[in-house]
Structure 1
Amino acid sequence: MESCDAIAGCGRPACKMLDGDVEFLSTASGTTEGCHPGGLQTKWVVKETRDRELLQAYLSICPEVQTYALGDLAPPHWDHCRWHVLCDLLGCVHAVALTYTGLTTPVLQVLADPREDHCLAAAASLLRSLAVHHLPGLGAFECHVNAGLQDLLLEAGFSLAVRPHQRLALPRDCLRRLCPVDDANQTETEAGKQDMRPVGHTAPPTDLATRLGPADAEAAAALCATMPRSWFEPKVLQEGRYLGIWQEGRLASMGGTHVFAPEYGVAALGNVGTDTDFRGRGLGKALVHQLCCHLCQEGIQVVSLNVESDNEPALRLYKSLGFSTVMDFVECDVIRT
């Protein structure tokens, strides 16, 4: 993936299919080997797999797009995942679908690099196959797909409530620009060379926030309840990385991670918000900045998050810190009509 550059907005039809037939295999398969032989494929295979190495190899090609799927390779999420892949005849993966069943409502994710026509076509072919052979058994579910792919679900007889989103990401080189140099042995000249922030950019303070723990669960839940479509359970304060800013004896601002997978170098931010009584003071920006610096120090190389496309204040905040738009996608509530 290109670091820090906007790579979204393909502007091309997202529902073009791959040439050739697609066969759905109903039984799970093991390891596949081989690579794309080149030339026109006349047959594609969709199958379920539990091959973690195979999935990681594909998902790691584009970690900004696949952040959430990479995080679900790790426990405890792995046990709640079903994975389908679209392969060529030699077993090379061209698209991945994740069905996460660890929540009350299952979540389907089929996302592809929006810059690559072939990746979008492979994702479309995979989703169309799943719409026939897999999705009817889910009942009501939520799906996250590249903008345009939701039309395939409509064509298959599903009813959708669509919410346009943007995926934002902050790759590692941008993390280094954002976060202060903490090497005590580094000279001022060396530090200056690494400080590549634009002229006039002033980093927010990085010591306002403190780590949230189980004792802060009640205050965190109350603040999350004021955020539209937020999801919070007390256990996330232990499983993820959460920071909060306290002012006047209240939790004024907070944010954490929906995904924290240092073994795969990725994290996704979530539950970021500021109490209405404390907005306009720069607390949200300071908190996100400090959180990203903590994640960088723990080995995270890519930080991403999802923002509703019409949430202009949030988009401005994240882009002021160096985040860029990776792709347009939609979250949909789906039922079979």
Structure 2
Amino acid sequence: MKYLWISAFLFSHAVLANCPDENQQMALQGTLIQQTFPGPPNYESVKDGDEALTYDYLKLDQPFECDLASENDAVPEVQIILQSKSQIDYPDLAPLLGKEVVLTGETMYAQTGRHFTPVLLILEKAQVVNPLTSSEQKKSALLQFQQFQQALREKNVAALKTYFVFPVDGILWDFIAYDESQSIKMETLTETEFDKNASQIIDGLQMLSELKVNTETLTINEYRINALTEQEQKRHYVESEEDGTFYYEENGQRHTVDGVCDTVADGKFEDNILQVSKGTIGNEQLPGVSEYCDGASVYTFKLLDGKLRLVSSFTAG
């Protein structure tokens, strides 16, 4: 599974996120910071007499790529807007400054001189990310993951739904089994899309319920479905000159076969978060060509206010 984790890591860090639409419901991840910029009358210099405007911002883990700001297509931060109807006020955010958070709300575009980022977030909910650094935190995460597995096995939609942060930073296609007869579902996984496709999502994730979790060693053991039958596994294969092909000898005859892909699921703690994957990889005896075998959908779980939640997904390969 090493290739899956490396390719997933590169994929997640190499691409900017698509620019959100205005009035789009989002769950954004990053670090809450506070910044001061010059305001009226000239919006140029506090030292020269402009009003100092201090606001909270979310420094995004994955910046947006937008055409809204001609001087810079990358949008690394979003300004936080609080409305009077919101249950959150600025004193509530003060203890969260400098911490990793997940903020949920609705996007808007800059409209006035007091808006200092091209994209802003009208805040509805703020959750602190508890980094999985201690053994106690990791054990708590794995115990809760076992409950997630139980919900999958029981096909308990209501229970499974509580583990998702909507909208998930990913697409519906990451969660459902591939079917070449259907068009690829590129929709964002919102709560509405989850409700519409719950049975397909449960089927698509079912393999994760087979993972063996050890809460004492704080590890997850790989689960693999071998593509070879028991009889095929007993043969001795020799690599052929042609890429991706092998041969074995039986009853005095040489038989040529192609390499195959196993179906696998795995999980590990990575960068203080829990990442779980399902995908394909070359068979250990008869490895298929990497461009066909090496790929995975990866799911990121984080502790938000002490509760394990699936916050993002992506497919690589």
User: What interval of TM-score do these two structures reach, taking the shorter chain for normalisation?
Assistant: under 0.3
What TM-score do you get using the length of structure 1 for normalisation? 0.23
What TM-score do you get using the length of structure 2 for normalisation? 0.24
Bigger Cα Rg: 2
